[in-house]
Amino acid sequence: MLRFTIHRILHVIPTLIIISVISFFIIQLPPGDFLTTQVAALEAQGESIDPAQLEALRVRYGIDDPFWIQYWKWISNILLHGDFGLSFQFQRPVIDLITERLPLTILLGVATLLFTWAIALPAGIYSAIKQHSAADYTISVVGFVALAVPNFLAALVLAYVGFAYFGQSVGGLFSPEYVNAPWSLAKVGDLLEHLWIPVLVIGLAGTAGIIRTMRANMLDELYKPYVTTARAKGLPEGRNIRKYPLRISLNPFISTVGWSIPSIFDGEVIVATVLALGTTGPLLLAALKSQDMYLAGGIILIIAVLTVVGTLISDLLLAAVDPRVRFGKA
Amino acid sequence: MFSARRRIRERDRAARAAQRGLAGAVVDAAELSDAEAILDIQGLKTTFHSDEGTVHAVDDIDLVVRRGRTTCIVGESGSGKSATARSILQVVDNPGLIEDGRILFRADPEGPVRDLAALRSKGDAIRSVRGREIGIIFQEPMSALSPVHTIGNQISEVLELHSDLGPAQIRERVIDELNNVGIPRPDERIDAFTFQLSGGMRQRAMIAMALIARPALLIADEPTTALDVTTQAQILDLLGELKVELSMTMIFITHDLGVVAEIADDVVVMRHGKVVETGPVDQIFHDPQHDYTKELLASLPQRSAPLGEPEAPEATPAVGDAVPDGGRPGSVDVVEVVSDPRETVRHEHPQARPLLRIRDLRMEFDAVSGTMFGRRRKEKIVAVNGVDLDIAEGETLGLVGESGCGKTTLGRCVMRAYDPTGGELLYDDGSGAVDLAGLSQKQLLPYRRQVRMVFQDPYGSLNPRMTVRQVIGEPLRVAGLARGSELDDRVETMLERVGLRSSMASRYPHAFSGGERQRIGIARALITSPKLVIADEAVSALDVSVRTQILELLADLQDELGLTYLFISHDLSVVERICDRVAVMYYGNLVEEGPAEQLFANPQHGYTRALLSAVPVADPRVRGTRERVVYRPDEGESEESAA
């Protein structure tokens, strides 16, 4: 197990290097750079910029350096000083922009994830055990509807319902009076009042997929001979299902569980934008639109790293629960 | 420890509920049709309802199992023998349902008689019978045991459910039981996972699980079908010994009449969900009443003496006591032979011109051990280790051995499905020898039409989305040999030749039975007019009666078309019946080779002798008269004597 863990971790390093190069390359792909976007925006407003000043800015930001030099400056600052660079748009360090949004982002992400699992896993297991029953079909229909309705639409509808029937302020995670208020019980209550809409919207949409995979995995395992063997030992039905088929049918779920870690971080960009949530999702969107490359690059890099780390966690978890993986037999 | 206490409380509750349930199912002992009966099935009907309709898997059967005896239920696939066994414990696969009938069970000879069919299938009452009073062993131990729990965990569970022992005592009992079923180093193996054990060891673990609560009745549902013949012999011996030792009653389900002859006291023959004949084993084999029983016996390979009639009247013992009670006697004469597996015994014999000469053929596979970082420590698995073998034109060469011995690999090397690591495959159809092993894929094309293969699995080897016409015609179309109506004509002619109707050409494979599919597979192999056909376990997946038909077809086609067969099989009786020459393989080595009669009558190599002595003989009268030979390779390097 230890060997397996070390090997898997060693394997992560080259992946991360490649990912960082690729994400830096991608954010540089669109024609032009941050300054040309800025100049265009200013000119559209009828202002003009001194070419000498522009040139000074270009040098200062190193925009005309070759790709590898820019990449090296960027990545070495991140690794050595935790410095993700300066956001052109906000004129503030990228790391500050991200960290001030991080607590709420993680809160929303974790709440959504727990909500999704709490609903989807039992629903999937139940609909497998009661295959072809009314409950099975109802669960499937609800899951598919939630999957099919576009997130932003559901967000808008729920926001409208909240506003029209419950008199809630719409948008954001706080009512206006609490946004800049210090933390208090009332502020937490206000947060919870706002949190349910995005959690419900994002969470429900995620359930369908998990319900279907869980149901299918469970159906595959439920009729395996080892379940009959356990039954023939005299094991009660409920304990049998929990100990044998459920344990094995969770494997595919565990092997993808790590992928939800990056989604905790980036949230649902569109829903967050529609609901004006103060999470990192809308920040990434804004950064990409304005070619704010250090901000965008920083966020993308973090998401990429979390994806790799998440996969690593999944692999380790899977090895922990499934001896076949641990002994290299599956 | 909270959960442990709760579990005990739950168990006590279940035990009380079980008592009430069982008390409700008590039947007067006078209702048993035989006072000796431990199990008396009366009018049992088990039905499978599905969208495609209703299948009466068990259709109104009566069956008595007498205490202390081994009752074999025989029948082909779909005869309802497994469904009967599972009905007894009410663990019939979904959507099966016991519709009618009584299953009277008397665990204790003096105890109350209970009707198991009257119990609720998920209730506490039947659960208290399962595992405790009736144990069951299934066919494929790999899938019948959970792959993610240790065997110790799974065996302990029986005692957790049915005894008051604490965890430490349970562990001790499990280790003890593993020892009883002949698992070496049981204190280590208890923490092993199924995939770390060999097939035989897994089945032993399964037996330990079924027996640990000392049930009065053991149901063994094809327990040796998935095992090699030498392993099968060991498991049968083990079951026989345990049965005597624990004074159990056994129901043994099998399709193999050889096994029946070896172990049965009473035999029940089933077909299409009905019991067609019951009787003591000697009567079933030597004086069968029902036509179907006679048919089954007739499909057996004809060994030494003709079956179905007693050799001489005075030799016929009184029906019923021909065989000592208790099945296979506990003490079998065991002889151990040691010899070098790398030495090949060749029987001298005149030979026709060889069509294929295999010279020093080697096939090695790289087994990458460890993870992706451990690449440097490559292990080589030598699947075929320098085999020399000639296949004469027009003959049938049987290649036998147990799983993992390299016989299939050898066949695939000849096909050039694998690229051999070394050696020559000299193919000579009269126009000069060509080394197939040295040809490039392109040069090989013409020979691909001359060397063809018939596969084992009639279901997996036909593309379900291609019609029979496409399946059979594909080799010709790919080779560009025929098109359009000419292709259709040839496909239809071939269909008729293998005993199917030409009108079947536009159907899809799912519309055919296993035997018909295998005919399609044969048609596909023969459509290019090959010289050499490799039949890799081509009849292993078929029922005995269908197997006979396919073997006859292969023989007819050989006569008509002058084919040469390389017949790969683990089933020695089939090989003895149809092969001119036989080659025996053991862990990649060719250990013996010679004409079939000579090799079977006078095996020279230790392994061949062990193999032949393990084959069950389909005659209950020779039971216990043969000595069992056990082979041990004469070198330290080969792996531990796997069971």
Secondary structure (DSSP) of B33-102: SSTTEEEEEEEEEEEEEETTEEEEEEEEEEEEEETT-EEEEE--TTSSHHHHHHHHHT-PPTTEEEEEEE
**CA–CA gap between residue B269 and residue B79 (Å, rounded):** 9
Query: Which residues, in sequence order, are CB contacts of B501 under 8 Å at separation 6+?
Result: B495
Q: In this structure, which amino acid lies at residue B151?
A: I
- DSSP-derived secondary structure letter, B566: E
Interface of A with B in 64-93 (CB under 8 A): none
Residue B2's pLDDT band (boundaries 50, 70, 90)?
A: low
Where are the alpha helices (H) located in A134-266, listed in sequence order? 134-148, 151-166, 185-222, 225-232, 237-243, 245-249, 251-257, 260-266
**B345 assigned to some structural domain:** no
Q: Where are the domains of chain A?
A: 94-326
Q: In this structure, which amino acid lies at residue A228?
A: T
Residue B576 confidence (pLDDT): 87
User: Would strands B134-137 and B217-221 be described as parallel, antiparallel, or unpaired?
Assistant: parallel
Q: Is A2 on the interface with B (CB under 8 A)?
A: no
CA A320 to chain B, closest CA, distance in angstroms equals 11
Helix (H, G, I), strand (E, B) or coil at B587: coil
As a whole number, mean pLDDT of residues B22-38 equals 86
Q: How many domains does chain B have?
A: 1
Query: B395: how many CB neighbours lie within 10 A of its CB?
Result: 20
Check B209 against A4: CB less than 8 A apart: no
Check B161 against A223: CB less than 8 A apart: no
**Look-up: residue for tokens 């089945």?**
B203
Chain B partners within 8 Å of A224 (Cβ): 143
Nearest to B195 among A4, A231, A324 (CB): A324
As a whole number, mean pLDDT of residues B585-613 equals 90
Structure tokens belonging to residue B76: 């082909």
**CA–CA gap between residue B527 and residue A298 (Å, rounded):** 64
**Look-up: residue for tokens 């009729």?**
A223
Question: Which tens digit of pLDDT belongs to each residue from A107-146?
Answer: 888 888 899 899 999 999 999 999 889 999 999 898 888 8
**B312 assigned to some structural domain:** no
> Which residue in B470, B484, B473 sits closest to B528, CA to CA?
B473
**CA–CA gap between residue B345 and residue B568 (Å, rounded):** 19
Q: Is A226 on the interface with B (CB under 8 A)?
A: yes
Check A324 against B146: CB less than 8 A apart: no
Nearest to A229 among B138, B196, B370 (CB): B138
Handedness of CA A242, A244, A245, A246 (dihedral sign): positive
CA B131 to chain A, closest CA, distance in angstroms equals 4
Check B93 against A3: CB less than 8 A apart: no
Residue B329 confidence (pLDDT): 45
Handedness of CA B535, B537, B541, B543 (dihedral sign): positive
- Residue range(s) defining the domain that contains residue B247: 2-144+216-300
The distance in angstroms from the start CA to the end CA of chain A is 15
**B456 assigned to some structural domain:** no
Structure tokens belonging to residue A197: 């809409």
Residue A7's pLDDT band (boundaries 50, 70, 90)?
A: confident
Residue A274's pLDDT band (boundaries 50, 70, 90)?
A: confident
Check A3 against B146: CB less than 8 A apart: no
Nearest to A247 among B128, B148, B157 (CB): B148
Nearest to B144 among A4, A226, A235 (CB): A226
CA A42 to chain B, closest CA, distance in angstroms equals 55
Nearest CA in chain A to B155: A233
pTM: 0.79
Query: Phi/psi of residue A177, each to 5°?
Result: -70, -20
Query: Phi/psi of residue B613, each to 5°?
Result: -70, -20
Residue B250's pLDDT band (boundaries 50, 70, 90)?
A: very high
Query: Phi/psi of residue B264, each to 5°?
Result: -75, 150
**CA–CA gap between residue B121 and residue B114 (Å, rounded):** 15
CA A215 to chain B, closest CA, distance in angstroms equals 17
- Cβ(A97)–Cβ(A295) below 8 Å: yes
A280 versus B304: which is more confidently predicted? A280
Average pLDDT value over all residues in chain B: 85
**B633 assigned to some structural domain:** no
Residue B309 confidence (pLDDT): 35
B233 versus B78: which is more confidently predicted? B233
Q: Is A323 on the interface with B (CB under 8 A)?
A: yes
Report which listed range, B92-101, B146-155, B627-636, is most confident. B146-155
Structure tokens belonging to residue B239: 């079951």
Q: Which CATH number among 3.90.1150.10, 3.30.300.130, 1.10.3720.10, 1.20.140.10 corresponds to the domain A94-326?
A: 1.10.3720.10
Nearest to A248 among B129, B148, B209 (CB): B148
DSSP A31-69: SS-HHHHHHHHHHHTT----HHHHHHHHHHHTTTS-HHH
**B22 assigned to some structural domain:** yes
Question: Which tens digit of pLDDT belongs to each residue from A20-51?
Answer: 888 888 777 777 777 777 777 777 777 777 77
Nearest CA in chain A to B160: A235
pLDDT tops 80 at residue A78: yes
Q: Is A289 on the interface with B (CB under 8 A)?
A: no
**CA–CA gap between residue B436 and residue B451 (Å, rounded):** 11
Q: Is B132 on the interface with A (CB under 8 A)?
A: yes
Q: Identify from B13, B90, B148 which residue to disrupt to test chain A contact, counting A C-beta atoms within 10 A and taking the largest count.
A: B148
pLDDT tops 70 at residue B332: no
Chain A partners within 8 Å of B206 (Cβ): 229
pLDDT tops 80 at residue B16: yes
Chain B partners within 8 Å of A328 (Cβ): 370-371
**CA–CA gap between residue B285 and residue A2 (Å, rounded):** 59
Check B196 against A10: CB less than 8 A apart: no
Consecutive H or E run containing B26: strand B26-27
Question: Which tens digit of pLDDT belongs to each residue from A137-160?
Answer: 999 898 888 888 888 888 888 888
CA B127 to chain A, closest CA, distance in angstroms equals 4
Q: Is A242 on the interface with B (CB under 8 A)?
A: no
Structure tokens belonging to residue B484: 């359009």
Residue B212's pLDDT band (boundaries 50, 70, 90)?
A: very high
pLDDT tops 60 at residue B372: no
Nearest to A229 among B122, B129, B145 (CB): B145
CATH number at residue B261: 3.40.50.300
Q: Identify from A15, A227, A229, A318 which residue to disrupt to test chain B contact, counting B C-beta atoms within 10 A and taking the largest count.
A: A229
Question: Which tens digit of pLDDT belongs to each residue from B480-513?
Answer: 888 888 899 999 999 998 888 888 888 898 888 8
- Cβ(A322)–Cβ(A57) below 8 Å: no
Give the Å distances, CA to CA, from B319 to B65, B266, B285, B496, B590.
Answer: 18, 11, 11, 46, 44
DSSP B280-345: EHHHHHHS--SHHHHHHHHTS---SS-SSS-S-GGG-PPTT-SS-SSSS-S---EEEEEE-TT--E
As a whole number, mean pLDDT of residues A171-191 equals 79
> Which residue in B469, B435, B430, B429 sits closest to B450, CA to CA?
B429
**CA–CA gap between residue A31 and residue A255 (Å, rounded):** 39
**B552 assigned to some structural domain:** no
Check B158 against A232: CB less than 8 A apart: no
**B117 assigned to some structural domain:** yes
pLDDT tops 70 at residue B321: no
